[in-house]
Structure 1
Amino acid sequence: MKTLGLIGGTTWVSTVDYYAYINQLTNEKLGANSSARLLLYSVNFQEYLPRAEAGAWSSIGESLSTLARQLEANGAEAVVLCVNTMHIVPEQVQASIGIPLLHIVKAVAREIRQSHLQKVALLGTRFTMQHHFYPDILRRSGIETIRPTPAEQEFIHQAIFAELQKQILRDETRRGYLEIIDALAHRGAQGVMLACTEIPLLVKQEHCRLPIFDST
């Protein structure tokens, strides 16, 4: 069994899901009392947010690269960034290590391609929705990305940081998300990417009339 290095804490709520899911899959495949070999470096997310707001992605990339090198030095054979937004700088992190960085967006693109959809909506943090990394990768697979309006993006973003990352799940917020998804469907979206690892805590497939692609 290989050892996987996780960079988490971004936020801690979704990092718990990564840890649990990887161990569940390992146990299903190997049986008995098997669990995954994991190294976890959990950061203080608050130290990263001001830099994200300032667009200082190179600085964030340097910090993540340092953590990835530490995981590699301690025996990790691959690294996962347990967050979508930090995939703004995957090339910088990958260039700093000699082991693979497993890419969330490429995994999501494979799932969408297998579903034969051509247009999908993108929900995530404001950083993710406004950046080009999701549309660029999906375009290579012939998939068009449909973004929410600026006002919709702000509602989605604020709910993530004010509520979801604190495990506050409100029916009113869910209704707001579903109204945005319906509006995106009217604009041509055939599916919706939950490109923030906290959104699936609130919005699940049974709530949504479009197919959901959960990046977690």
Structure 2
Amino acid sequence: MTRRLGSETLVIATHNAGKLKEISALLAPFGLNCISAGSLGLPEPAETGKTFVENALIKARAASESSGLPALADDSGLCVTALDGRPGVYTADWAQRQWFEGPAGRDWYMAMGKVEGLLCERGDDVDRSGHFACVLAIAWPDGDSAVYEGKVHGSLTWPPRGTMGFGYDPVFVPQGRDQTFAEIDPDEKHRTSHRADAFAKLVAEQFGG
């Protein structure tokens, strides 16, 4: 049986205050005190994994080993069928501007354009299906770990539509819908997203009967 979290302090392996707030709210009903790796001054490890699972475990284990507490990390991204699963673990990297592309930072419209450009190179009949993936990993200081994977399938559209999402949301139409993730009410999106899928599996195993 997979090891379970108790009513304890859990390190969320992030330096992003928004992500800490989102995950803390999801875990609040289970009596966990969530603190971020950033608030503890923990360094961000290099994400050298080739899969979402590897990267999520790298982040969770680093935070747990450094803090001496159990830690939760996530890794997620867009996988496009016709692009052999790319951008995948490099989802955010595709949005990172190079020195010749303008001011430093992430440009998600540029990233969406890269995906569309590669699809267009493959012709009008290209398979436009893809999925968002999310992996949640829990690590304990003694080396134990648990992994939960979530997905939401859909297709890529162009041009981008909607203003309520982020990342690649404006070009991703989830299966069974005709709106992009950026056109769907955020609360509804969060209930049906890849992160929600992974989180439901975590809750069922960690806190279920």
Sort the TM-score into its range (normalised by shorter chain): 0.3 to 0.5
Normalising by structure 1, we get a TM-score of 0.38
Q: Which has the higher strand share?
A: 2
Q: Which has the higher helix share?
A: 1
Normalising by structure 2, we get a TM-score of 0.39
Higher RCO (CA-CA < 8 Å; seq separation 6+): 1
